[in-house]
Chain A
């Protein structure tokens, strides 16, 4: 997976509302139609980093099947960051497609 894209995916997932690590991991996997398969463990350092930058905040809650789980939610700073990162991602994608498929223009 591209460097830094995991952050973007996590932030995007949390737009729908607070979720715990398990949900986030499965959401990314499902929504990418199983293309993006990562070890779910590698999600946690990313969560730690995002929380450290105060883009997400966390709290302990109870999961759907009554397990204690740590929930994450987007902070206002995280929302701003997400908008920025999506913008940058779009730019990057456009730029790359223009290079690899110039004929379609």
Chain B
């Protein structure tokens, strides 16, 4: 039995029919020769042969492949029966297309950003080496010594290659581009180590790691397209970075990223001279060595490695970590939570279609009963109904592909800058993985939405289906139970999404509405960059002199110096926890190094303890001022003064000497995010000048410029802005990420709510239509309008309440995933939950209103006359 027979079965049927005909003719001829009349002869021939049709059927069956044949039959039948009911088919297809399409769009974003492997050779072998505190390994120091690189390279039993790079190359970034790193300096051997070759031009030469030869750059594909119009003649042209001119020697391949998760515009050679001790070390493990084993071997040799600070020798150990991930865990969780959220939308859509099909199955009882009566087995019926839902979900899946490519562009447009950067170039490519995803989810949609209705239909009551009075029984109890289950599921899922969206809306409003916490009016920030060769004492005296001079200018009310200011760059974030607590209680802290007059100049009140003073010099015991909210969360109901803290940037404990009022800082900080101030004298390396002015700023700024130039000709003012401007730019940028997630969640929750409401409405309308005779009887027996309305609304309350209870419980657990996206509220904010539940209840009752009104308008006489 071959496939050729299957496709030629019609030909063979004709052949055999002719052959049978030929037998009859020959036999008839012989019968006539034996003396029969032609009529008799033909009759006898047929009798001799037997049932010709049966023989042909048997041969046809031998030629066919049963499964395909019946599938084809089912498909044709499904098409016909769906075409007879286009309203149902369209509703189901649109619902599924929305669900599948939204999932596909979100998946293609998550796939490009999270699942897509890093574009390096054997990325699993790549690790970063960092020094961490021995007793709290989650705190890396981010510091290395230059000798260390050679020490690691000598450990050939562990590492195949060890190369430094520096992620943050200080560049003059224009306003509003906060937070991106346009260039990264990498050791000249890194492209080779990653196994990446430029698509155009050449990689770095080893000697380009030497000062004097290092003014060459590799540019990204995106930058090449943006700035040079993808002109192949770009090689040899120059780009200016950090006021230095670099010659372009190569263009990196499309989608190249380094460090993982960042796609800078350009890479320049890393040199020992330009990077001090702030750099990272990338290493490739010797082939065959696992990261755990490598870590053990590293511990054995760590004594032979130079540490960046010999005093920390005892406290610090080197640690290896895989570089396999693009996003930090928080951003990763947030993005994956969106995939989960859109999955809920999908489940709601499936539940809706399942309910539609259940109702449809109930109205088709007669058809089913007849099919069963003429010999369709249960399995055959089941297959038939599953085929119908397969037709629906495949149609939905195909529509979803078109929908998804449109939605993907929409998502791309609102992605926060960092993620948009990573997604660029993947927004219109539906790749193989995305297609596989669509295939799987389509089959899933078919099973989720079709299995229960198919089982119900295939096992329905045959006798009932054939009786004339089936209308009177209305929906059966079992059917109603299924409806309730699916409705509860919908309501529960929609509620979880609504609570998520509610929390994010609440938090976003807080983020936008929160006041800065100090007087931003007439407050100017002047960012100054000093040549990095200037050592600490020199820099300290420079800033001190500058501040003293600026204070004397006319029009200046006060001035101060700080490393890090709210709303601007320059503060470091790290994890912070009180002495005696475990580091599991650590929160994100923001660190500012400020002069004594900082609080007075910005107008931040000191609400407890003391300000910094002359006693807090570079060699005095480390002290800090923290904000009052943080103090209250660490030591509730107690005074924080005199307490000690672990703070990430220094290895020793710092003592709290003062409490400041909180100011508005990061959007991703948790509600109890901490602002930690340290005396400026402890980090006078790179700082900004903050000036409060009265009147026209222009002459003051001109004077400041002149003074800076006079004090140090190499110093340079990189930026001047008012704090109002800074906050506006910062809000626009920082709010991007929560705004993105908020918009997504609002869309998902909106679709979920609409779908669930349509589901409630649809099932209720159907049941009112089915129960028309019953309602007619009740009315005839004296039921009031209120009774009837209650009868209908009652049917909604059960699934809605069950759904709400399940939804609240699930959300208490699930919204934790959103924690990193919430600003100043907890994931269990009771007010939000109560408000959302009330809203959902209202929406469900609104969906029930129309059917219940229709029920009360039933005319008992008409309803009863139908029977």
Task: Report which A residues bind B (CB closer than 8 A).
Answer: 20-22, 25, 39-42, 44-45, 48-49, 52, 63, 65, 67-70
Contacts and interface: CB of A to CB of B under 8 A. Distances in A.
Interface in B9-42: 12, 15-16, 18-20, 22-23, 25-27, 29-30
B26 A49 contact: no
Q: Top 6 nearest A-B pairs by Cβ distance? A: A39-B50, A41-B50, A41-B55, A22-B26, A41-B49, A70-B19
A52 B5 contact: yes
Contacts of A63: 22, 26
Nearest to A53: B1
Contacts of A40: 23, 27, 48-50
A67 B16 contact: no
Given A69-B22, A70-B22, A44 B27 contact: no
11 contacts: A22-B22, A39-B49, A39-B50, A40-B49, A40-B50, A42-B50, A44-B59, A48-B62, A63-B22, A70-B15, A70-B18
Given A22-B26, A42-B50, A49-B62, 6 more contacts: A41-B51, A44-B55, A48-B59, A52-B1, A65-B30, A69-B22
B54 interface: yes
Contacts of B52: 41
A22 B27 contact: yes
Nearest to A48: B59
Contacts of A49: 62
Contacts of A21: 19, 22-23
Interface residues of B, number: 25
B145 to A, nearest CB: 82
Contacts of A41: 20, 49-52, 54-55
B314 interface: no
B42 to A, nearest CB: 14
Most buried by B among A22, A49, A63, A70: A22
Contacts of A65: 26, 29-30
Nearest to B27: A22
A49 B12 CA distance: 12
A13 B58 CA distance: 23
Most buried by A among B12, B26, B52: B26
B563 to A, nearest CB: 88
Contacts of B50: 39-42
Nearest to B33: A65
Contacts of A69: 19, 22-23, 26
Contacts of B15: 70
A63 B21 CA distance: 13
A64 B20 CA distance: 17
Contacts of B16: 44, 48
A40 B22 CA distance: 13
A21 B48 CA distance: 13
Nearest to B53: A41
A70 B16 CA distance: 9
Most buried by A among B1, B54, B55, B58: B55
B766 to A, nearest CB: 50
A48 B1 CA distance: 11
A76 B20 CA distance: 26
